[in-house]
Every structure is written in structure tokens, then in C-alpha cells.
Chain A
Amino acid sequence: GQQVMQIPQYQHVQEGEDFTTYCNSSTTLSNIQWYKQRPGGHPVFLIQLVKSGEVKKQKRLTFQFGEAKKNSSLHITATQTTDVGTYFCAGLKNTGNQFYFGTGTSLTVIP
């Protein structure tokens, strides 16, 4: 079964609106990574979070790792058409050495 759940599966927003995708695990994660995949492209690494409660920003993107290290979120402020794509989280369990990818959130930005 899916180790890491991600919601929503799809999101359509008007350009300029905000967007958030959530990643949840039933077990504690050692760290979590986020990736972006443009339509027709391949996943590209965005960031890694390691510490409980950690928050990192990349321009309009804000990444957060939950206090219990079981969930994470990616928030985009004032979306642009260049933000279109699928965003994946990937979690590393404390007991393993393999990352488990979420099912992804496909973001469409309407100009």
C-alpha cells in the first residue's frame, strides 16, 4: 500500500491565488524531500527538510515539516503560470534507507 499519502490529487487555481499540497505518513519520517515535475518532464529536486517543525522558503515557495515528523506541506504564494506541474513529496522512514514518494499533486494555473 501507499506509504506516503499526498492531497489533493489535483488542484486548479486562478493565477495569483495561493496553493498548498499536503503530505502525510502513518510513521515517523527521518526527513522529507519535495520535487517538481513539469508536464512531459522529469522530477526535479526542490528541497529537503530534516528537523522537526522546520520551515524553509524558496522565493514564493514555503516548505514545512510537522512537529511530529509525520507530515509536511508545500505552500505557493501568488501562483504563476510557471508553477504548473506535479509536486511530489518523498519521505524517508526512520527505520529504512528508501524514500517513498507520494502520489503527487497536479497543479493547473489558469491565466
Chain B
Amino acid sequence: IAGITQAPTSQILAAGRRMTLRCTQDMRHNAMYWYRQDLGLGLRLIHYSNTAGTTGKGEVPDGYSVSRANTDDFPLTLASAVPSQTSVYFCASRGPGYGYTFGSGTRLTVV
């Protein structure tokens, strides 16, 4: 089934630890995105990539990094997790002229 796969589904992480959230798509979309969703704040863009080999900063990029080595994969790394990064993280992709396709999300708790 075409779509976006995110892993892990959920994670409890000790503050200060490094963590990579994985995202893979099989739709050959050029554009990919990482959002965080917090109650009352909607979806906020962390980083994006318009095509393989390029990345850009969104609204809330601090504390996060991404890479886009190929079209299919777009991992998000938290170098040193802090409690304020507790959130639900959604990876998404978008084909030209279409809406976003979202993954099922990763629920991250930093303690």
C-alpha cells in the first residue's frame, strides 16, 4: 500500500539522549516534511525537503536536524532531547498539485 511509514510508533526518551525518527515513502514524491503536533498549537513545520539532497528550516527547527540522501527517506534527529520536545511527530510528503500524505505519527515523550 502506497504511503508513508514512520518508526517508532512511540518512544519514551531520557533527556539528553540522541534519537532519530525514521520516515520512508514509496510514492516517489519530491517534497517531504516533518511536523510536530501539540495541543492547541496545531501542526508546526520543523524541517522540509523539496527534493533529494536539499533541506530547509520550518517554523520550529531548533534542536532538530534532517537529511535527505535519497527520495524515499527523510529521518529527523534530535541531537540532545529536552522535555519541550515531547510531542507527536508527523512525517508527510506531497506530490505536485496534491495534498499532503501523512504518516501515522511518532508519539515521543522526553523525561
Contacts and interface: CB of A to CB of B under 8 A. Distances in A.
Contacts of B34: none
Interface residues of A, number: 22
Nearest to A3: B59
Interface in B76-95: 90
Main SS of chain A's interface residues? strand
Contacts, number: 45
Given A33-B99, A99-B100, A42 B90 contact: yes
A98 B102 contact: no
Contacts of B53: none
A35 B99 contact: yes
Interface of A: 2, 6, 9, 33, 35, 41-48, 88, 90, 97-99, 101-104
Interface of B: 35, 40-45, 48, 50, 58, 90, 97-105
